Structure 1
C-alpha cells in the first residue's frame, strides 16, 4: 500500500517526489529518497524530479537527490535538456554558480538540447543576464557553439535586440569590446566579450 502511494501520479504524471522537489521540501525528499527503489520517474512532459528542483533553484534538494542517485545529473527531459539547461532557462543564477564550481558537472556546460541550444543559449533567450555572465566568464564555455538555426549565443542576443529595436522604430548600433586577462583565479576566457548597445 505504501509503495503504491509513494509512486502514485497526478494528472500531469507527477509523483510525490516531483512535488517535494518542486516546492523545496527537503524533509519530504529525504523521506521519499529512503523509501523509493526508483526515483527516475518522468512526468508527462518528460521531466524528472531533478529538473523540477533545478528549475526552481533548490540547491539543497539538488544535493539530496544527488546523494541518493549520483547518476541523476545526466538525466534529460523530453526536450533533451539537462539540469543545467533548466537552471539557466529559469534564471537560477545561484544554482548555475553551484554547478559551475563543481567539476563533476562540467560535462553539462556545452551540451545541446533537441534544438541545439546550450544552457548559455537559453540564458540569452530568456534575458537572464547574471546567468549569461557566469557562463561567459567561465573559460570552459564554448561561445562558438551553433544551435540548429546556425546561431551562437551572441547571434541570439543580437537578433533579440534588433527585433526589439525594430518594434520601437529605431535602429540599433553595437560595438564589441574585448578584454584580455591572464587571471586564472576568475576563470575568464582569454578573450572575453562585453557589449554596449547604442540607439542611433
Structure 2
C-alpha cells in the first residue's frame, strides 16, 4: 500500500496581508474502506507555522479539514527552498485515540508509519509581491516565489505595483508584471508616465521593454530628456528621439529650464553636444534669464563653459539679477573660469590699448597669457598689430608665445609687419620669433623710409 490518506492540494497557499494573521486550509481524505487512519502533521519551520490539530483520526472513507496558521504578520516568511507540510499516517484499529496515544504512535519508527505527502507552502497576494519588489536584491534567488505570488493578484493590484517594480531597476520584475497584463500607461502621483521612472533608473533595458509594450509619453509632464541629460545618458536620448519623433528638445521644466540647462548645470559636455546636434538652443533662457552658460559657470564646470563660449554668443548676457556668467563664477569661487569668462578679454583690451599696468594686473589675477579670442588672436597679436612695444615686452616677460598662429595662420610678427610696426618686429625677432613666415608675404612695407622685410633678410 502506497498511502493511507490523500490531500486535496499539492500546495497550500497563504494569502498574506501585512499586519493581519493569515491561515490556510486543506483537506485529507482517508482512502481505507474499513479502518480509521491516524494523521500526524508537521512543518519544516515549526517556529512560524502551527496546526489547528497536530494529531487526528479520520474514519474510513471520510475526510477531515485542517488549518495551518502563520505566526508572522509583519512580512511573509519566504524561504528558498519553500517550507513544506509533512503528512504522515498510520492505521488504528480503534476509531478514536487519545492525543498522547497518537503522539506515542508516531514517535515510533517502523513499517506501520506511512509518509503520505509533502505539501509546499506558498504565499500569494499583492503584499507578497510588494515585499519581493522591496527586496529585489534577492529576486534572482526568489524569482519563482514572485511568479507564484502574482498569480492570485488582480490586474489592478499588479498595476499599482508597477512603479516600485520599475524603480527597483530589475527587468525581470517589470517583465513579469507586463506579462501578467498590467496597464503600462498608469501614472505616478505626479502624473508622470512609467517611462519617466524607467529613465530615472538608468536601465535602458527597462526603457526598451516599456517602449515595446507601447508605453506613452506626455511631453508636458514627462521630462525624459531632462532626466537623461542630468545623467549624461546620450544613449537614452538617442533612443527616445528615435522612438518618439515628436519629443521636444527645447522643452522646459517648471523653472523654464531646457535639457541643455540641466546638462550644463552638471557639466555633462557629451549630453550638451548631442542636444545641440538635434536642435537644442544654447542661448535659451529660463524664468530667471539664466542661459546654459550661467548654469555651467555657477557650478564651475570648465569644459562646459568653454564649449558654450565656442557655440553661443551669451558671454555677457545678464540674468534677472543683472549678473553675467563671470559674476556667478566669481561669487562661487570658480577662479579657473575667470580667464575664459572675463580676464582674457581684459588682457586683450589692455594689450590693444597699451595699458601695461592693466596687462600685468590681468596676468597676476590668472589670465592665460596665450589665451586666444574668437579669431585665434593672442594678446601678443593685438599688441604687435597696434605697435604697443611696452605691452609686447611685458607679454614676452610672462612667457607669451612669439610664434602663436591665429585662425588665418598669422603670427604676432606677421601682424607687426602687416601694420608696419618696425620696433615691435625688432623686439619679437630679438626674442626668438621665427622670421621664415615673412618670406611668404613678400611685401615691402615702408616704415620710416625703410622696408620691414629687411629686418629678416639682414639688409
Range of TM-score over shorter length: 0.5 to 0.7
Q: Which one of the candidate residues 328, 333, 351 is aligned to 1:127?
A: 333
Match of 2:322 in 1: 116
8 Å CA contact retained: 2:298, 2:328: yes
Match of 1:5 in 2: 217
* Counterparts of 1:19 and 1:95, CA distance in 2: 18
Query: Is 1:19 aligned with 2:231?
Result: no
User: CA 1:127/1:184 → structure 2, altered by over 3 Å: closer, same or farther?
Assistant: closer
Tell me the TM-score normalised to structure 2 length.
Answer: 0.29
Match of 1:69 in 2: 279
User: CA 1:108/1:142 → structure 2, altered by over 3 Å: closer, same or farther?
Assistant: farther
Match of 2:345 in 1: 139
CA shift digits 1:70-95 (9 cap, x unpaired): 5x112111110111000000110121
* Counterparts of 1:39 and 1:186, CA distance in 2: 32
Match of 1:46 in 2: 256
How far the C-alpha of 1:135 sits from its partner, in A, is 1.7
Q: How does 1:155-194 map to 2 (within 5 A)?
A: 178=361, 186-187=372-373
RMSD: 3.2
Gaps of 5+ in 1: 144-175, 192-200
8 Å CA contact retained: 2:344, 2:371: no
* Counterparts of 1:93 and 1:19, CA distance in 2: 22
Match of 1:78 in 2: 287
Of structures 1 and 2, the one with the larger relative CO (CA 8 A, separation 6+) is 1
Query: Is 1:59 aligned with 2:269?
Result: yes
How far the C-alpha of 1:184 sits from its partner, in A, is 6.4
Helix, strand or coil at the partner of 1:79 = coil
* Counterparts of 2:346 and 2:259, CA distance in 1: 27
Q: Which has the larger radius of gyration?
A: 2
Higher strand share: 2
Gaps of 5+ in 2: 1-184, 186-213, 350-358, 384-390, 392-459
* Counterparts of 2:362 and 2:329, CA distance in 1: 22
* Counterparts of 2:348 and 2:297, CA distance in 1: 15
* Counterparts of 2:255 and 2:263, CA distance in 1: 15
CA shift digits 1:134-193 (9 cap, x unpaired): 2233328999xxxxxxxxxxxxxxxxxxxxxxxxxxxxxxxx952589x665446679xx
How far the C-alpha of 1:46 sits from its partner, in A, is 1.6
8 Å CA contact retained: 1:46, 1:78: yes
How far the C-alpha of 1:97 sits from its partner, in A, is 2.0
* Counterparts of 2:266 and 2:334, CA distance in 1: 14
Tell me the TM-score normalised to structure 1 length.
Answer: 0.64
Count of residue pairs the alignment pairs up: 150
Higher helix share: 1
